[in-house]
Structure 1
Amino acid sequence: MKKILTLFALAAALFSISMTEQDSIPKPPLQRTGAPGETYCTDCHGGTALNGGPGGMTLTSSGNNKYVPGKSYTITVTVFDASESARGGFETTILDDKKNLPAGTCKVTDHDATLLRNDKNNGRVYMSNYQGVPYETWSYKWTAPATDIGTITIYCATNASNDDFTPMGDHIYSGKLTLTPKIISRLGADVDDKGFSVYPTVIHQQLTADFSNDESGNVQIALFNLQGQQQEVLYSSNDDAGNYEQTLSLKNQYTPGVYFIALQQGGSTQVQKVMIQ
């Protein structure tokens, strides 16, 4: 029994030491992303003006600047500056554009390089580097909100350090990335596909469709409701390859609201959203 208690005590001591070492690692100060109400790393670091160095930074999302509610994406931050060392730092926060409140949830995927912290003062969540760890690129997972909350912005500041372990002589770069909701119709196709457009988007009885064919074949344009149910076929033809502009007329009267105009050709579907009045 005494041996078991000794082992438990040893394990607890090791855990305590591990946590103490982790907590003792220097961490960048919060609220330095340039988000509304925040400053930048230039508050502490000096060398050039903000974005005044010979390098820069990139901020990307695996969702190509769009998000689907509830889906997860990889956010990647890179700082590059040939005049500095390979030791850099970053800090991001992700906010909705309407109220500047935290949007979605972040998760650390590399515990050796990145750190997640909550700021009790403003309620925001920050992803940053462990200060002093020699990295130039960092990634983490972000899960979009469960519902469409409109546009979301990732605010970011990076530090290209000269590795002298002082705040002087460093180059600070900042940037932001705006994410827009990706609308998926019940037809299984993205809304706002390139190569197919309709106007006006608020229609009464007529609209014009612009589209192109890469090869000859059957082309069909149809009206669907929000439930993905076809209401009527507006255009059906075997067309040659080329660019087309067709004026289309609704044959029936519909309850005012949101509908989809779907272009189906060559086994693919492209969709545009319209409002019928």
Structure 2
Amino acid sequence: MNKNYIFKFILLAIPVSAFLLMSSSGGRNDARSGSPGDGGASCVTCHPGAVTDASAVITSNIPAAGYALDTDYTITINTTSSSSSVGFQLTAENSSDTKIGAFTAGSGSRIINSGASITHSTPSSSGDWSFTWRSPSTDLGAVTFYSAVNASAGQGSFSGNDQVVLVNTQAASLSISDAQRIDFAMYPNPATDILNIELPEISEKVTVEFYDQIGKLAYTQNLDANSKTINVRDLATGIYILKVIADNKIGTQKFIKQ
């Protein structure tokens, strides 16, 4: 009688175990990024490591000066490993361990937690993913991206012989107080040759900086009270964060060069 119950339990356990394995291979829906807001939870409990050569890095095109509000940035995870089956989960939090911003999935990834986190949709042989993070519309402080990257031991699927690598990277907020913020108009946007800058009041000296999508300062021009136009003809086609500095105040907007 007891043997019969054991046999039935084994038969029941087989499809359940298979279901859990297949579900995890497409990324977990629960919090597993290893972040403080996720309670430090990752996949390391179920995936203790036989793989020992895995490493990962998170990069972004957020400028060194910090992220602008309500702006899309590209976040990339690159993994180095002998594994042919790699997965991840990533989230973004501020210093209060609060989720900030929202993700949009790219190839091989999917969003979870209402867009506050992102994970792989299928295991990757390269361990590389790129996706979009939209910064918050209000100043929530510096952001830290936390990720748990899971490299399998080479069986072609996730199992108990995997290595979990925890990585993080931080970016400051470009947001400033209302007293330090300058609102300005620019037109046309997009522009091909001439860009006009209009400030709410006359300033003797204005500095305009263009940051490209990898956060590099691409062009700088100083303006005076008599000239508020910029020749952008030689600027490479693309999307820029335009930063205006005048009278110890700062303003930023997205600019498109056609």
For Structure 1 versus Structure 2, the TM-score category normalised by the shorter chain is 0.5 to 0.7
Q: C-alpha displacement at 1:174, in angstroms?
A: 1.1
Residues 12-44 of structure 1, C-alpha deviation per residue, up to 9 Å, x if partnerless?
A: xxxxxxxxxxx9684333322111113222111
* 2:93 maps to 1:102: no
Structure 2 counterparts to residues 78-93 of structure 1, below 5 A: 78-81=78-81, 84-93=82-91
Alignment match, 1:176: 168
* 2:154 maps to 1:163: yes
Among candidates 112, 124, 128, match of residue 117 of structure 1:
112
Q: C-alpha displacement at 1:142, in angstroms?
A: 0.7
Q: C-alpha displacement at 1:55, in angstroms?
A: 3.4
Q: C-alpha displacement at 1:77, in angstroms?
A: 0.7
Larger strand share, 1 or 2: 1
Q: C-alpha displacement at 1:230, in angstroms?
A: 3.6
Partner Cα distance (1:58, 1:101) in 2 = 22
> Residue type of the partner of 1:170?
D
- Kept in 1, the 8 Å contact 2:152–2:158? The answer is no
> Residue type of the partner of 1:57?
A
Percent identity over the alignment is 22
Alignment match, 2:53: 54
**SS in structure 2 at match of 1:178:** strand
Root-mean-square deviation (CA), in Å? 3.5
Partner Cα distance (1:173, 1:24) in 2 = 20
Partner Cα distance (1:267, 1:103) in 2 = 33
Q: C-alpha displacement at 1:162, in angstroms?
A: 2.2
Residues 127-184 of structure 1, C-alpha deviation per residue, up to 9 Å, x if partnerless?
A: 1112434341011111101122111111111012223135233222111111211258
How many residues align? The count is 172
**SS in structure 2 at match of 1:103:** coil
Partner Cα distance (2:105, 2:128) in 1 = 14
Alignment match, 1:70: 70
- Kept in 2, the 8 Å contact 1:59–1:176? The answer is yes
Partner Cα distance (2:131, 2:123) in 1 = 19
Partner Cα distance (1:71, 1:230) in 2 = 27
Report the TM-score, using the length of structure 1 for normalisation: 0.52
Q: C-alpha displacement at 1:107, in angstroms?
A: 0.7
> Residue type of the partner of 1:39?
A
> Residue type of the partner of 2:85?
R
Partner Cα distance (1:34, 1:114) in 2 = 18
Change (3 A) 1:118 1:273: farther
> Residue type of the partner of 1:89?
G
- Kept in 2, the 8 Å contact 1:187–1:228? The answer is no
Structure 2 counterparts to residues 221-260 of structure 1, below 5 A: 229-230=202-203
Q: Which runs of 4+ in 1 moved over 6 A?
A: 272-275
